[in-house]
């Protein structure tokens, strides 16, 4: 699908970034909506990844190459998210590679945090009073979610 990008992007254990993460990042930096990124897009993507890598390394306290649910919770708190430890556990169980050490690697960390950011932005559009609550219809919720995930 995007072999050049997958060859350039690896986790700390030398495994390739997941297809889902690569596709998400291509969609973020593909200004022409062609399914490809040019040199400028790749340069911006590289800076984006390095920023996330620095944050990942800051919270990967045991330098295992994986972020545990408690490490993810600390990272999310530092990013300003007031979420429960159970939510962090849910994210780690959802985005962990099955059959591997519990935790998420860099690519899934980027995917998780980026999705959380975009969902938060979508929520804030509906939470006009900045109260932390919003009243939306079921279809609005689905539209909001699907438009951020695709």
Q: What is the pTM of this model?
A: 0.79
pLDDT band of 148, cuts 50, 70, 90: low
pLDDT at position 75? 94
Question: Per-domain residue ranges for the chain?
Answer: 1-147
**DSSP string computed for 25-75:** HHHHH-TTSSS---HHHHHHHHHHHHHHHHHHHHH-TT-SSSB-HHHHHHH
Is the pLDDT confidence value at 125 over 60?
yes
- Give the per-residue pLDDT at 54: 92
Task: Identify the pLDDT of residue 31.
Answer: 80
CATH of 1-147 among 1.10.238.10, 3.30.710.10, 3.40.30.10, 3.20.20.150: 1.10.238.10
Give tens-digit pLDDT for 63-122. Answer: 988 999 999 999 999 999 999 999 999 999 988 877 777 799 999 999 898 888 888 888
Nearest to 52 by CA among 119, 6, 108, 123: 108
Predicted confidence at residue 2, as pLDDT, reads: 66
Alpha-carbon torsion 79, 94, 19, 102, what sign? positive
Residue-level pLDDT at 149: 60
DSSP state of 15: P
Would you place residue 123 in the very low, low, confident or very high pLDDT band (cuts 50, 70, 90)? confident
Task: Supply the pLDDT for residue 84.
Answer: 96
pLDDT 10s digits, 17-74 = 788 888 888 888 888 878 788 888 888 888 988 999 999 999 999 998 899 999 999 9
Question: Distance between CA atoms of 125 and 88, rounded to whole angstroms?
Answer: 24
């Amino acid at each position: 699908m995007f072999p050049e990008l997958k060859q350039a992007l690896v986790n700390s254990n030398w495994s390739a970034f997941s297809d889902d993460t690569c596709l998400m990042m291509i969609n973020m930096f593909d200004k022409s909506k062609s399914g490809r990124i040019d040199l400028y897009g790749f340069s911006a993507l590289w800076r984006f990844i390095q920023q996330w890598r620095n944050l990942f390394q800051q919270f990967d306290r045991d330098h295992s190459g994986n972020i545990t649910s408690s490490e993810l919770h600390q990272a999310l708190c530092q990013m300003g998210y007031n979420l429960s430890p159970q939510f962090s556990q849910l994210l780690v169980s959802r985005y962990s590679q099955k059959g591997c050490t519990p935790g998420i690697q860099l690519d899934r960390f980027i995917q998780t945090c980026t999705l959380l950011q975009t969902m938060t932005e979508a929520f804030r559009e509906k939470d006009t009073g900045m109260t932390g609550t919003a009243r939306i219809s079921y279809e609005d919720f689905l539209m909001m979610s699907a438009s951020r995930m695709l």
